Structure formats: C-alpha cells, structure tokens
Structure 1
Amino acid sequence: MVGVAGKSRACHDCKRRRVKCDFQKPSCMRCEKAGRACPGYDRASIFVNRTLSEFTTTARVAIAEAISLQVQISMKHSSRLLQTFEQLQANITVPQAPFPGTFRLGAWDILRELYLPRTRSTDECEVTATSCYSWVHAVCHMVPKSNVLNQALLAFCAIQVYLAEPWSISEERAQSLYGEAVKKLIESLEESDVERRDDTLAAIVVLSTCEVKQLWRTSTMHQSC
C-alpha cells in the first residue's frame, strides 16, 4: 500500500511522493524515468544524540522532532510557491509586454519547476527540444495577446501548485479557476475565426492536459511526472 506507514514496500522516494512504485531493485524504473536518484528500499539507521540535558530522548521523540522540522521547511517552501502564484494571478491583468509577456514568463517559471521532469540538466534548449514537453515552452512563449490562453495557463499552474503543496492552494480554488478557463474558452469559440487561431488551440491543449490527468480532482495519491 502506497503511503501507509509500515505497510508500503515502495522505495523511499515513491513513498514520499505517494506514487505507485514498481519495486525494481536496486533502483525502481519510476525514479529513473523521472530522472531521480532512487534512494532504495532499506530503512535508514537512526542515531539518537543523547546529551546530559536530554538523556532520556528516545528514537520516537527524535523522529517526531525531525518530522516537525521537515513540515516547517515544507510550509516555508509552500509559502514561496503561493507567493509566486499570487503574483502570477495579479499579472494576468497586466497588459502584455513585448515578447512574450510578464504573465506567461511567470507561468513558465512555475511549470518548469512543478510540471517538467527533474533531470540533471535544466537547459532551456533541451526542454524545448524534448517532444513530450516542448509544448509547454512553446505555449508560454507565444506572443499574441490572449485572455483565454492566459486563463488556461493560470488554471494549469493552480492545479500544479495544488498537487505539489495541497495546503497552499485549495482544491476548490483550483477547480474554480479551471471552470472559469473552460467558460472563457467556450465563449471565445462563438466568435468568428477564433477557433483557427494558434492561441485558441494552445488554450485547448493546456485545458486538455488538465482533463487527461484528472488526478487533481480526486486525489494526489497517484500523481505522476
């Protein structure tokens, strides 16, 4: 069982990310495909530092303190993600600057961190040339002004932040932004020649990616890269 303490046979990284592990040894293929270094399956040794002032400290207490510290660090990280997203949402109303626009550059920064796979190289040229993810770079660097595309990107970024840090953005907020984006897209398709524009097709791709996953609506248990 994934994510259940004491019952999961998954590697430590899959267990932490609450995703399904293939149990391959010495390293699972899921970590390798995601460009991660698989930490393995063995339980790490725990050393308890007992001082004169804390001579009665036990392993259970030490683990609880370590988890508390990790949560604090995660909360600090989520605050940074939330601030980045809030700034992105504020920039959606800012007029588009010359290529490619403040808003879409901000969306690219969030998606590059949360949606694209983590590899040894974060070179932009490599990401652009990667067929599976090249559309993300292309969409975020489109020039034409398009409120429909911007709304779709905002919803997609909200979903990614929710999947990464569920306590920073609520599921209801992500769903609401997604619903608004779909509504704007439907309304725009009623205009003449809009369906033939590249930015309209880009918005459809972005929202279709949300639909294909459909993971953010129900659970983060099976989220993937």
Structure 2
Amino acid sequence: CDEERPSCAQCRRGGRTCPGYVREMKFVDEGPKVRRSRRKAHASATKSTSEKASKGIDRQNKDLLHHRETSPDVGLSQPSSFKAERDQILSSFVSAMFPLGSPTAQISFLGSWSWHIPPRLGSSVVLDHAALSVAWAYFAKLYGDPIALRNAESSYLCAVRSLALALDDAKDQLSANVLCTTVLLGHFEVWLNTRSGLLTLVLTDEYEDLCQC
C-alpha cells in the first residue's frame, strides 16, 4: 500500500472506500539536532565577539601609535609617562598574543611566555626596556609602522645598555630579570634581523656570567 491520501492506489483501482491508515506513534530524539543548533549559535557569537575584540585592540594600538607620532616630546626619560606607555603597550601586546575567543591557547611560544612578564615590570629597568622593545617590534611588524619601529629600536638600545650595566653588578647579573631580558632581546633581534647587541656582550668579559645566568 502506498498509503496515499485520501485513498491508496489499490482502493482506487478496486473502486473501494479506503479505510485509512493506523499510524503508530514513535519517539524521536531531537537532542543531537538541538545541540548542533546551539553549537552553531555559540560559534557565531564567539566569532563575532572575537572580531569585535580584535578590531577594538587594533583601533587602540593604532591610536597609541598615532599618539606617539603626534607627541614626540613624550620620552622614556619621564618616569610617569614611561610607565603609563609601557603598561598600555604591553597590555595590548599580551592581548594580541591571546585574542579573545581564539580556538588555540596561544599564538606562539613567546605568547605563552609573555604572561610571566607583566608581574615583573617596574622592578627592573633592564627588563622594562626589553619588554617594551619586543612589544613595539611586534606592532611595527604587524602594521608596518615606522614610528613603532623607531620606538622599538630606541627601547632596544636602552635595554642593551642597561643589560651591560646589570652584568657588571654581582647582585643582578644572575637574576631572573636578566635572564628574561636576554630571552626577550633574542626574540627582538630575530624579528627585526638586528645586529646582535647580545652577541657583543657575550664576546666581552661578561660571557661567563651570561652563560651561568
């Protein structure tokens, strides 16, 4: 029987009144369908949030770069200005390494390791300059911005000078901050293909201390 309505083909051929059909009820599990629908909605919301956050970070970073371009008198020698700028740049840098809603836990090894930097800031001049140089280098690469590149190079020079002084200090030369600084400057030199200030230090009398560190 083809179970057509109002009458099946067999009843029509026989000229009979179709008695109808008895349909048994059955339970259908709609759970998988509902879960798929929820997953799609969640994925769409997460993507939208991620895109908005990413655009917000990009806009904030570009505004900061513009501020540096229009305010050349704001220098690293001014403690309060330096601290505010350092905190803002590094906060943006860490956020960029760990974008909201990213399907992966981190973007790179440096991104994972960068979480250990903020708690140490303010306790070591050499680490402050090194962290700032890497953050500026990242944004210089990301946006191709010459202002960010100059800021990165300036912070790098300050970091190398400070590192040389720290290696001459018996108390600081084996500290965790000095170790963090050497790793950060190494990343900076790889990113920007810079002539190695670290190599220069290694080839001096501080070689043994740096290796022990």
Q: Say which structure is richer in helix.
A: 2
TM-score, reference length from structure 1 = 0.45
Q: Work out which of the two has the higher radius of gyration on C-alpha atoms and give 1 or 2.
A: 2
TM-score, reference length from structure 2 = 0.47
